[in-house]
Amino acid sequence: MAVARADAPVMLAAEAELAIVASSRVIQELADDDTPHYGVSTGFGALATKHIPTDRRTALQHSLIRSHAAGSGPEVEREVVRALMLLRLATLATGRTGVRLETAQAYAGLLNAGITPVVHEYGSLGCSGDLAPLAHCALVLTGEGFVTDALGVRRPAAEALAAAGLTPVALREKEGLALINGTDGMLGQLLLAAADLRRLLRTADLTAAMSVEALLGTDAVFAADLQALRPHPGQAASAANLRAILAGSPIMASHRDPHACTRVQDAYSLRCAPQVHGAARDTLAHAEAVAGRELAAAVDNPVVTVDGRVESNGNFHGAPVGYVLDFLAIAVADLASMAERRTDRLLDVARSHGLPPFLSHDAGVDSGYMIAQYTQAAIVSELKRLAAPASVDSIPSSAMQEDHVSMGWSAARKLRRALDGLTRVLAIELLTAARALDLRAPLAPAPATGAVVARLRNTVAGPGPDRYLAPEIDAAVALVADGNALTAAESVTGPLH
């Protein structure tokens, strides 16, 4: 996160430099060998049986990078490119790839200079790793292609390298292959997504608590002993958050009398929030475990083993990462779906327990938040489509040599879009629940939810006649995306789980 989002500098440790030098010697010893060695003296993919003469082997590496830098479509986000570059550098630092020390140092130099290669949306099948995205980065290392510099200006790579005092790299045997054979793009996006989803899961607990309170629901179902009957760790964490956020609520206290309250049970979207939010947490924990193992991996083909062998392998296949990226998209869609149902309940006079239709000021003249829920519904419908797994698809490539691919990059791209959608859905729930809480006056909300409403009111006015709504939704989206909604709640509750 520090490198991808905050431009933290990087450097190679001394032990990494020693490991890099040792494995590069192994490759150089093979450079003049007449025995075919994949990636050193042969072509690639379906051309792996093609022997390359000694005097053409460095040209082979440059040709590999130029031909594989074949991406198309919109530019990928800067943080994604920096994440994948860092992860590729981390693999180079293991000493299992055979690159020279100066090549690894040059890669670190790109990151430290804030030079971001232009990488495109389409091009990776997730096998052999994220070839096209990584090839666009390697191309820049050689002084070709295009970049965005530290000031955000798009310019030719050679020009940006010169301005930063960096020298283009002339690739040697196997180096081109080592720079592109990895799962770094999909893994980088998984790690970024996991960090964002951790925040959004706590935010979902917050917005759910606000809706429960505004709908005069009960927090009794979130009791620790009830939750312990089904001992999923994510469920326990979510319920604990809901209890903390709703603690001390005068609105809750106002309807605790069983003789005055005629409702026996709340709707599922209220009562079952810990179960759904908790399942998403446990799914994320599994995805993070997979990511942790992938972070410990040295993914390349061929690989230089610890005892100095150069061996072909299939470790570049993105299935482990692709599966969990798809799994997270399912959880994100379900979180958003439940949040939308709570929002709809707040707007429906038949189910909102005394709130005005659509939370409007003058129903009929005013539509209130009617269409905000339409926006939520449109997003949730999109999220359901994005939940269809990419990893079950496979399109053979390279003349059937690469006949089963992971589509992990595609899974990562759609998860990023899904997280943006979840952010917007939760923001609309927050906006709606905040207005509903205001309309419960003179009853006051809990200290934590009240702090969130007060923070929202710094940028969005309270109930009143209809106003231009899109900017208010955007303000709520910003409050969720930058974590300020959570910060307001946690100023009362302390850190949430």
User: What tokens appear for 358 in the block?
Assistant: 């659509």
Query: Is 38 tagged catalytic?
Result: yes
**CB-based contact 110:128 (threshold 8 Å):** no
Residue 51 CA to residue 29 CA, distance in Å, equals 17
Q: Name the active-site residue from 38, 268, 323, 374.
A: 38
Question: Which residues are CB-contacts of 133 (< 8 A; sequence separation ≥ 6)?
Answer: 71, 76, 81, 84, 119, 120, 123, 124, 185, 409
Give the active site residues: 38
